[in-house]
Each structure stands twice: as structure tokens, then as C-alpha cells.
């Protein structure tokens, strides 16, 4: 594998593109928005500059990484030569099914199709293609260039050969791949999201305030950041979407989103990305300081 197409230039997409490009792969970064592509490249450049300032990479490494990335606004043009496509679009099942139908039509029959979904069924996504054996989940963690874990999720029809190929590929990126089966939330979010949801319930029920809840979990449970701050960083809309997928998949009330979370998302308070969530990020400096904790 040498040519990797990444669908989506947002937070996860540009992080995945950065990681593959820094490992020497030719990356085709695809987004329908030229503006999103420019923002994605700017983010990659800024993160490389931080690594350069910390002497983790050289100027030549930075230039080589950026030189390995080509941008496209056309999916068909971007995936023509791809050995692997990693879809990192918004966590919306209808959008992902539409993308995979298109990828199945325009990609080579040998191309492996992967999705970075954090909760949506790989089997469901694979079912809209004519190659379900070659569809797999690659759930990277945010921020992608830093976090070691990749959940490798095999759908009902994913072959051993494809799974092993993606496991080995992940290792070449310096990641630690963990194979899991295709159930709602997989492992990471099946455990994480109920914890975040319970933290929001604790706030909703008036047990303690935002800072108090986060302080208890940081100092008492040795978490690097509190669950409410983490939810802000992930995006409250993303948390809600994952919980809804899990609730629909399991029909178990323990996965039902807290009413406070639902109302905050309806009100547009999505966390760092919107400038306000459980914390106030209205000043750009505050949001930047939060982001720097992860780079």
C-alpha cells in the first residue's frame, strides 16, 4: 500500500492525512469544500510547526510530509489510484452510506474501504457496497498524530486478509491496533460515552458543578482531564450522536442521552468548536490553550 485517500478534511480527516503523510504514504485529501481543505492543510502545517519547535521532527521532515499530501474536491479524481480509502466525514449514517455507495462505484475492485466511524455499524456500511469483505473500520483517536490507539473493527463479512492487512498497516504508522467486533460503540465509546453521559446526569441532577465534577475525576481517578471538559473537546453533538446510535442499537435505557446534553446541542452549545459548552471558550486564546494540551 502506498496511495491513501482520506475523505473529509475536518479534525479527524486532517489528522489521519497528517499521520499517513508523515509515515511516507502518498495521501489524497478529499473534501467537497476548498475552504475546508485549506483549513485542514493549515492545521497540519501548524501541528508540524509545533513538532518542529519541540525538535521532534526536522524542517526536511515537515516539508516531506506536506509534499506527500495532494488535495481534491472531487471524490472520483481523488480515489483513482488509491490502495486504501479512509472515510472521515461527519458522524451521520445517511452521509456515510452515500459516500460508500459512491466509493464502491469509482474505486478499483482491489481497493480496501475503511471508515473512521466511532459508533456506526461497519456491517451496515459494507452492505451498500458490492465488496463487503473489503470494508473495515479504522477508528483513530483524537488527536490522531499523537494518540496511539486505532480500533480495527471488522464487519460481519470482513475477511481475515483485509483485517490483517489493516492491522499491519496501522503498525507502520506507529499505532497500536486493537481488533474488535462490530457492535454499537465498539469498545472505546461503549465504555467512554456512558461515563460522559453519567457525568452530565450528575450535573443535571445538581449533585455538583462542572468544575467540581471534573476535579473529582482528575484528582480522584487520575484522569488527565475531567469528563465534562473531554465532552467539550470531543464535541457535544458527536457525543449525542454516538449515544443515540448505541441507544438505538441496544434498546437499553442506560445509553439514553441525558436531557441536558440534548438541550445543549439543540441550543448550539457544542463545546470547543462552537465557543461554548460546559466551559466558555469564547476567547480564541482560551480555545487555543485547551487544544495545546493535546499536541
Beta bridge partners of 26: 3
pLDDT in tens, 166-187: 999 999 999 999 999 999 999 9
**R_g of the chain, CA atoms, integer Å:** 19
Tell which residue, 279, 245, 215, has the closest CA to residue 93. Answer: 245
Q: Is the pTM of this model over 0.85?
A: yes
- Low-confidence residues in the chain, pLDDT < 70: 283-295
CB of 161 within 8 A of CB of 112? no
Per-residue model confidence (pLDDT) at position 287: 42
Kindly write down the DSSP assignment for every residue of 121-163, as one continuous string.
Answer: -HHHHHTTSS-GGGEEEEEEPSSTTT--EEEEEE-TT--HHHH
**Binding site membership: which residues?**
8-13, 31, 91, 96, 118, 142, 273
The CATH number for 189-288, chosen from 1.10.1040.10, 3.20.20.80, 3.20.20.70, 3.40.50.300, is 1.10.1040.10
Catalytic residues: 118, 139, 151, 189
Per-residue model confidence (pLDDT) at position 282: 86
Is 172 in a helix, a strand, or coil? helix
CA distance 83 to 2: 7
In the CATH scheme, what is the code of domain 3-181?
3.40.50.720
**What is the domain partition of the chain in residue ranges?**
3-181, 189-288
Residue 50: which residues within 8 A CB-CB, separation 6 or more? 295
CA distance 166 to 156: 16
**Binding site membership for NAD(+): which residues?**
8-13, 31, 91, 96, 118, 142, 273
Per-residue model confidence (pLDDT) at position 283: 67
Per-residue model confidence (pLDDT) at position 285: 45
- Give the strand pairing for 84-87 and 149-154: unpaired
Amino acid at each position: 500500500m502506498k496511495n491513501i485517500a482520506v475523505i473529509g478534511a475536518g479534525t479527524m480527516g486532517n489528522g489521519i492525512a497528517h499521520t499517513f503523510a508523515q509515515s511516507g504514504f502518498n495521501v489524497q485529501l478529499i473534501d467537497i469544500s476548498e475552504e475546508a481543505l485549506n483549513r485542514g492543510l493549515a492545521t497540519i502545517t501548524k501541528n508540524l510547526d509545533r513538532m518542529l519547535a519541540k525538535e521532534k521532527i526536522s524542517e526536511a521532515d515537515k516539508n516531506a510530509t506536506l509534499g506527500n499530501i495532494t488535495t481534491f474536491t472531487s471524490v472520483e479524481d481523488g480515489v483513482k489510484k488509491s490502495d486504501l480509502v479512509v472515510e472521515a466525514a461527519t458522524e451521520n449514517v445517511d452521509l456515510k452510506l452515500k459516500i460508500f455507495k459512491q466509493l464502491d462505484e469509482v474505486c478499483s475492485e482491489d481497493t480496501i474501504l475503511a471508515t473512521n466511524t466511532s459508533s456506526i455499524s461497519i456491517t451496515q456500511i459494507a452492505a451498500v457496497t458490492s465488496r463487503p469483505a473489503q470494508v473495515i473500520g479504522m477508528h483513530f483517536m483524537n488527536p490522531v498524530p499523537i494518540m496511539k490507539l486505532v480500533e480495527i473493527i471488522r464487519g460481519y463479512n470482513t475477511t481475515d486478509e483485509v483485517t490483517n492487512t489493516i492491522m499491519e498497516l496501522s503498525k507502520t504508522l506507529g499505532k497500536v491496533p486493537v481488533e474488535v467486533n462490530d457492535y454499537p460503540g465498539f469498545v472505546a465509546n461503549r465504555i467512554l460515552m456512558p461515563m460522559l453521559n453519567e457525568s452530565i446526569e450528575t450535573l443535571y441532577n445538581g449533585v455538583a458543578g462542572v468544575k467540581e465534577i471534573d476535579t473529582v475525576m482528575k484528582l480522584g481517578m487520575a484522569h488527565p482531564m475531567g469528563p465534562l471538559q473531554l465532552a467539550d473537546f470531543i464535541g457535544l453533538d458527536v457525543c449525542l450522536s454516538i449515544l443515540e446510535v448505541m441507544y438505538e442499537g441496544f434498546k437499553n435505557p442506560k445509553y439514553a442521552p441525558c436531557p441536558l446534553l440534548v438541550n445543549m446541542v439543540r441550543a448550539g452549545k457544542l463545546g470547543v468548536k462552537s465557543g461554548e459548552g460546559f466551559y466558555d471558550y469564547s476567547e480564541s486564546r482560551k480555545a487555543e490553550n485547551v487544544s495545546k494540551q493535546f499536541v
